[in-house]
Amino acid sequence: MKVYIKFDFNTVCNKILEEKLAESQIKHRNLGFGEVEFLEKVSQEKLRFFRNSLQSYGIEIVENQKAILIQKIKDAVVDLVFNEDIAINVKTSVYLAEKLELSYGHLSNLFSEVTYTSIENFIILQKIERAKQLILSNQLSLTEIAFQLNYSSVAHLSSQFKNTTGITPSAFQRIIKKRKENTSKN
């Protein structure tokens, strides 16, 4: 039997962080967006234990200031695209500048310098991942998905989806449908 699982990335990461901080016996305050403030001086041994316990989940402590800001940009974009409580029709440049309290030009230049890609490309990748999730959930039409992800049309979504994945959203839907049918026969 095969089951499909839907999850909220931010909730999962916060739960893991809380569990690992508790295991490490570190007094802390969660500031959100992957930021944690330690409320006590943490020994190197506790910090090493905490760092190692996160590694198996692909989570790491970021210590370089540029890397921290890049991670904040990525987290803000992911939150914008995946959090249904945030209106995605806000202009991304305005959202990021206000959220991170820095000019968008500075954020954009730094992001490109460090990641060798643009914030816009990162946003497209995140929107396509979100579109895949929404297609998999089979609750919305492509028109509704395009609207929810702030695309001007289904054609625009389809174009970016195909440029990113190599197939159209409709082809992706057909593949998923066929896999579900084959799974249910077995």
- 34-45 pLDDT, tens digit per residue, is 778 888 888 888
* Helices 104-115 and 92-100, axial angle in degrees (round to 10): 90
Q: What percent of the chain is predicted at pLDDT more than 70?
A: 95
Which ranges in the chain are annotated with CATH 1.10.10.60? 123-185
Output the average pLDDT for the chain.
Answer: 87
pLDDT single digits (tens) 109-120: 999 998 999 999
Domain 123-185 indexed as CATH 3.40.50.300: no
Tell me the pLDDT band of 130, cut-offs 50, 70 and 90: very high
